[in-house]
């Protein structure tokens, strides 16, 4: 299949490399611990119940992940934080915008990469490697094509459910409950 990207090929390759590098670097680390190591602050002031954001540091020093008000599970919050950290890596390393000011196609593609990063990190926390080095391009690119936010949520929900099904045989159902709950919540949106 020929990949149809809104970005030049070289930029796609570099973006995926940056995400994969950080996947390896922080493999098994929780979202909050990752923020601590990266000196990123977490703040609850997003007005949208399902949307998080990334704040440019006002003093030029500390980045901030903005979360919705309380009410989400730890896994849901982890997903939102990992997603925003993916934006931060892409901005920091290759200057890719993390706001909605890009074209729609570019915006949705980057959202899909960041979702895929977040899913991979959630699985890394329970010791399951969903991204192999030689499959990283396929993994990060597979997620593209969601054409609205709700469809994106449903797609991520389905992705998590499929990965849970595969993982259950290997690591048992115990650690998968929070991920399955997240998958159901995401799949139910829209
Ligand atoms: Zn995003």
**Model confidence pLDDT, tens digit, residues 125-170:** 877 787 888 888 878 876 443 334 556 677 778 878 887 887 777 7
- Separation of 87 CA from ligand 1 center, angstroms? 7
**Model confidence pLDDT, tens digit, residues 38-85:** 999 999 887 776 678 888 777 777 899 998 887 677 888 898 999 999
Would you state the structure tokens that stand for residue 1, as one six-digit string?
A: 């299949």
Average pLDDT over residues 98-114: 79
What local confidence, expressed as pLDDT, does residue 128 receive?
77
In a domain, 27, yes or no: yes
How much is the pTM? 0.79
Residue 52, CA distances (Å) to 27, 43, 65, 137, 174 in order: 22, 10, 7, 26, 28
In a domain, 26, yes or no: yes
Q: Angle between the 177-187 and 74-94 helix axes, to the nearest 10 degrees?
A: 80
In a domain, 108, yes or no: yes
Give me the domain span that covers residue 101: 9-187
**Using a CB cutoff of 8 Å and minimum separation of 24, what contacts does 1-9 make?**
3/141, 5/109, 5/141, 5/144, 6/103, 6/105, 6/106, 6/109, 7/106, 7/109
In a domain, 1, yes or no: no
The rounded percent of the chain whose pLDDT value lies above 70 is 86
- Separation of 172 CA from ligand 1 center, angstroms? 31
- Separation of 76 CA from ligand 1 center, angstroms? 14
In a domain, 2, yes or no: no
In a domain, 3, yes or no: no
| Bridge partners, residue 43, by sequence | 66
What local confidence, expressed as pLDDT, does residue 30 receive?
96
Number of domains in the chain: 1
In a domain, 36, yes or no: yes
pLDDT-derived band at 117, boundaries 50, 70, 90: very high
In a domain, 18, yes or no: yes
- Separation of 170 CA from ligand 1 center, angstroms? 31
- Separation of 169 CA from ligand 1 center, angstroms? 32
């Amino acid at each position: 299949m020929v990949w149809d990207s809104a970005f030049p090929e070289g930029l796609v390759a570099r973006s995926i490399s940056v995400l994969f590098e950080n996947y390896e670097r922080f493999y098994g680390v929780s979202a909050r611990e990752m923020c601590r190591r990266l000196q990123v602050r977490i703040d609850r002031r997003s007005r949208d119940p399902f949307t998080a954001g990334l704040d440019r540091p006002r003093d030029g020093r500390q980045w901030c992940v903005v979360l919705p008000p309380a009410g989400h599970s730890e896994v849901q919050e982890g997903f939102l934080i990992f997603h925003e950290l993916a934006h931060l890596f892409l901005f920091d390393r290759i200057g890719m915008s993390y706001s909605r000011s890009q074209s729609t196609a570019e915006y949705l593609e980057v959202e899909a990469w960041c979702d895929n990063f977040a899913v991979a990190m959630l699985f890394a926390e329970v010791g399951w490697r969903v991204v192999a080095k030689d499959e990283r391009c396929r993994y990060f690119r597979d997620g593209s094509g969601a054409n609205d936010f709700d469809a994106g949520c449903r797609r991520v929900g389905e992705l998590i459910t499929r990965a849970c099904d595969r993982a259950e045989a290997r690591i048992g159902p115990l650690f998968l409950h929070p991920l399955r709950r997240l998958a159901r919540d995401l799949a139910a949106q829209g």
